C-alpha cells in the first residue's frame, strides 16, 4: 500500500487504471479536433472559475505571491490552452511533403498520431503549470494520461486531483498523488511516453525506467544557467532583471539566472544597481524584506538547509557577501544574497542553486567566458546582456544551451512558438505550443502510391536495372 494524500492506493490500482486507460486509448486517439478543443475549454473554464482557490493553495504551499501565481501558473496554462485551441485543427491535419522525382506517382504526408499511454511526473516549483501544461499538450494530441504531481506542494497537488476528477473520467486522465514511491511504481508500467520535469539526477532514473519498454521521453531538467553581462551592457537594466529573476518564486525557477559572469569593469556598478533593485522591489518602505508580500519562501526545510549550506560552504572557502545573507529557518526565509570571490571548489558553483542567492564571477576576455561555460554541462538557459552585436554573436555561436534570451531574462518560457527545453544534462525534447503537441505525438510518415510502381527495381538485376540505378545515384 502507498499513501496517497487523500487515500490509500495500492500498486494494483495503478495497473488497473493503466489497463483501463490502455483500453480507452484507441477511442481517445480517434477524437477529432472539435472534441479535444471542448476538453481543453472545459479545463480553461475550470481554471478561470477557481482562480482564488489556485492562489490560496500555492500561498499555503510556499507563500507564492498572487501576482506570481497569476503570471506563471495561471496565465502560462490558459495561454497554452488558447494557443492549442486556435491551432489544433491545423496541427492535426496531415502535413503534405513534396514528392522526390524517384517517388513519382506517390502522395506523401506526415500524420500526427497520439503516442497512447502517457505518464507525466511534475515538480513543485511551478506545481500547477508544470503539471497542467504538459497535460494540455497530451490531451490536444489525443493521449490518455496518468499524472503524478509533486509531494512537496500538497495543497496544489490536491487541487489538481480534484480538478482532474471533475473534468475527466479515470480511464482518460488520472492523478496519483504521493511520494517518490508512487512515481517509482508508476514507472514500472509500460507507458508509451513519459514527460518528466525535475532534476537531472532523477531524469536519469526516469530514462532508465523508460528503457525497459523503450518508451519515448521528454525530460525537462535543470542545471546552472549563466547570465553573461559584457562591458557594453546596460548594467542597471541587467541588474534589475537579474534581481527579478532571482527573487521571482524565490529563485526557484529552472530558467532563473543561476550565476552571473560579468566584465570586471561593470562589477561595482552591477552590485550597486542590484542592491537598489532589491530595495525597490522588496523593501520600498524599509520594513524588512521578510515583511514583503511579493517574496515567496524556500519550499521546505530540507531545501532551506540545502541553500543555506551552499552559502556557508562558500563563505568558509573564501567567498564574500556583498548583499543580504540574513536567514530565518523557522520561515524558510533567505534574504536575496550576492556572493563574490566564488570558485569551482565551492558547492554553490557545482550545484543548481534554486534559491535567491547570486554568485558573481568576473572576466576580462570573452574567451574566458566561453571556456568556463563550455567546461560545464550545457545549461537550460544562457543569457546575454550586451549592446555589442559581435559579442552577442560570439557568445551565442560558441556555446550550446536549451534556450537563450538577449538583453532580458526568462522570456523564452512564455513564447508559444519557441521550443522550450534543455539539451543533454538540462533536458531532452521540447515543450510549448506545437512543440509540446509534437512531443506527445508519433510522427507517422505515410506514402500513398497513386500510380506507377517500383517495378524497374525488381529482380532479376540485369543490365537495364543497373543502368537505372546508376542514373538515380548520379543525378537524383
Ligand atoms: P525532483 O526531480 O526532485 O522531483 C520531480 C518529480 O519527480 C516529483 O514529482 C518527485 O516525486 C519525482 N521524483 C523524485 N525522485 C524520484 C525518483 N527517484 N524516482 C521517480 N520519481 C522521482 O525535482 P523538484 O525538486 O521537484 O524540482 C526541481 C528541479 O526541477 C530543478 O532541477 C529544476 O531546474 C527542474 N525544473 C525543470 C524545469 C524545466 O522545465 N526544464 C521546470 C521546473 C523545474
The pLDDT score that the predictor gives to residue 166 is 98
Q: Is the CB of 124 under 6 A from ligand 1?
A: yes
Residues 6+ away with beta carbon under 8 Å from 290: 326, 328, 331, 333, 335
Q: In this structure, what DSSP letter does residue 73 have?
A: I
Domain ranges for the chain, please list them: 2-221+427-444, 226-414
Chain segment 153-184, per-residue pLDDT in tens: 999 999 999 999 999 999 999 999 999 999 99
Common-topology check for domains 2-221+427-444 and 226-414:
no
Average pLDDT on 364-378 reads 98
Chain segment 182-199, per-residue pLDDT in tens: 999 999 999 999 999 999
CB 316 within 8 A of CB 267: no
CB 420 within 8 A of CB 428: no
**CA 266 to CA 436: how far, in whole Å?**
39
Q: In what order do the strands lie in the sheet with 337-340?
A: 320-323, 337-340, 357-363, 259-263, 226-229, 381-385, 403-406
How far does the centroid of ligand 1 lie from the alpha carbon of residue 471, in Å?
Answer: 55
Q: Can you give the pTM of this predicted structure?
A: 0.95
Catalytic position from the list 185, 254, 352, 439: 254
Catalytic position from the list 220, 322, 335, 439: 220
Please give the grid coordinates belonging to residue 274.
542590484
Percent of the chain clearing pLDDT 90 (strictly above) = 93
Q: Is the CB of 154 under 6 A from ligand 1?
A: no
CATH topology of domain 226-414: Aldehyde Dehydrogenase; Chain A, domain 2 (3.40.309)
Q: With 70 as the cut, is the pLDDT of residue 77 above it?
A: yes
Q: How confident is the model at residue 455 (pLDDT cuts 50, 70, 90)?
A: confident
How far does the centroid of ligand 1 lie from the alpha carbon of residue 222, in Å?
Answer: 9
Angle at 388 between CA 382 and CA 390, to 5 degrees: 80
CATH class of 2-221+427-444: alpha beta
The 10 Å Cβ neighbour count of residue 446 is 12
> Residue 266 region, left (φ>0) first, then alpha (ψ -120 to 50), else beta?
alpha
Q: With 60 as the cut, is the pLDDT of residue 377 above it?
A: yes
> Is residue 290 flagged as an active site residue?
no
Amino acid at each position: 500500500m502507498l499513501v496517497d494524500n487523500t487515500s490509500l492506493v495500492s500498486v494494483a490500482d495503478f495497473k488497473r487504471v493503466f489497463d483501463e486507460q490502455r483500453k480507452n486509448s484507441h477511442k481517445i486517439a480517434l477524437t477529432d479536433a472539435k472534441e479535444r478543443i471542448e476538453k481543453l475549454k472545459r479545463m480553461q473554464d475550470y481554471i478561470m472559475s477557481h482562480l482564488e482557490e489556485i492562489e490560496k493553495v500555492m500561498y499555503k504551499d510556499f507563500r507564492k505571491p498572487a501576482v506570481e501565481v497569476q503570471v506563471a501558473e495561471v496565465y502560462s496554462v490558459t495561454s497554452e490552452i488558447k494557443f492549442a485551441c486556435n491551432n489544433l485543427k491545423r496541427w492535426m491535419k496531415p502535413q503534405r511533403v513534396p514528392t522526390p522525382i524517384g517517388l513519382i506517382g506517390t502522395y506523401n504526408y506526415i500524420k500526427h498520431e497520439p503516442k497512447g499511454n502517457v505518464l507525466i511526473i511534475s515538480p513543485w516549483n511551478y506545481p500547477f503549470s508544470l503539471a497542467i501544461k504538459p497535460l494540455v499538450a497530451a490531451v490536444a494530441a489525443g493521449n490518455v494520461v496518468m499524472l503524478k504531481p509533486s509531494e512537496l506542494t500538497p495543497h496544489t497537488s490536491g487541487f489538481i486531483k480534484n480538478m482532474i476528477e471533475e473534468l475527466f473520467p479515470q480511464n482518460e486522465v488520472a492523478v496519483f498523488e504521493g511520494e517518490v514511491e508512487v512515481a517509482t511504481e508508476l514507472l514500472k508500467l509500460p507507458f508509451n511516453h513519459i514527460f518528466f520535469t525535475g532534476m537531472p539526477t532523477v531524469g536519469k532514473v526516469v530514462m532508465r525506467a523508460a528503457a525497459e519498454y523503450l518508451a519515448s521521453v521528454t525530460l525537462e531538467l535543470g542545471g546552472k544557467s549563466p547570465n553573461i553581462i559584457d562591458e557594453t551592457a546596460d548594467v542597471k537594466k541587467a541588474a534589475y532583471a537579474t534581481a527579478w529573476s532571482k527573487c521571482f518564486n524565490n529563485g526557484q525557477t529552472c530558467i532563473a539566472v543561476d550565476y552571473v559572469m560579468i566584465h570586471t569593469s561593470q562589477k561595482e556598478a552591477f552590485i550597486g544597481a542590484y542592491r537598489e533593485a532589491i530595495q525597490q522591489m522588496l523593501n520600498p518602505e524599509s520594513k524588512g524584506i521578510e515583511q514583503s508580500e511579493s517574496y515567496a519562501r524556500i519550499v521546505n526545510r530540507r531545501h532551506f538547509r540545502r541553500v543555506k549550506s551552499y552559502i556557508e560552504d562558500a563563505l568558509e572557502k573564501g567567498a564574500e557577501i556583498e548583499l543580504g545573507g540574513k536567514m530565518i529557518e523557522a520561515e524558510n526565509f533567505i534574504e536575496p544574497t550576492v556572493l563574490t570571490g566564488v570558485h569551482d571548489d565551492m558547492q554553490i558553483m557545482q550545484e543548481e542553486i534554486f534559491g535567491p542567492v547570486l554568485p558573481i564571477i568576473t572576466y576580462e576576455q570573452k574567451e574566458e567566458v566561453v571556456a568556463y561555460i563550455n567546461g560545464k554541462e550545457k545549461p537550460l538557459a544562457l543569457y546575454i546582456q550586451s549592446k555589442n552585436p559581435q559579442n552577442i554573436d560570439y557568445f551565442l555561436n560558441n556555446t550550446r544551451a536549451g534556450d537563450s534570451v538577449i538583453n532580458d531574462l526568462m522570456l523564452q518560457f512564455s513564447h508559444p512558438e519557441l521550443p522550450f527545453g534543455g539539451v543533454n544534462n538540462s533536458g531532452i525534447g521540447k515543450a510549448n505550443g506545437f512543440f509540446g503537441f509534437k512531443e506527445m505525438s508519433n510522427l507517422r510518415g505515410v506514402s500513398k502510391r497513386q500510380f506507377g510502381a517500383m517495378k524497374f527495381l525488381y529482380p532479376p538485376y540485369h543490365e537495364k536495372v543497373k543502368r537505372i540505378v546508376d542514373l538515380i545515384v548520379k543525378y537524383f
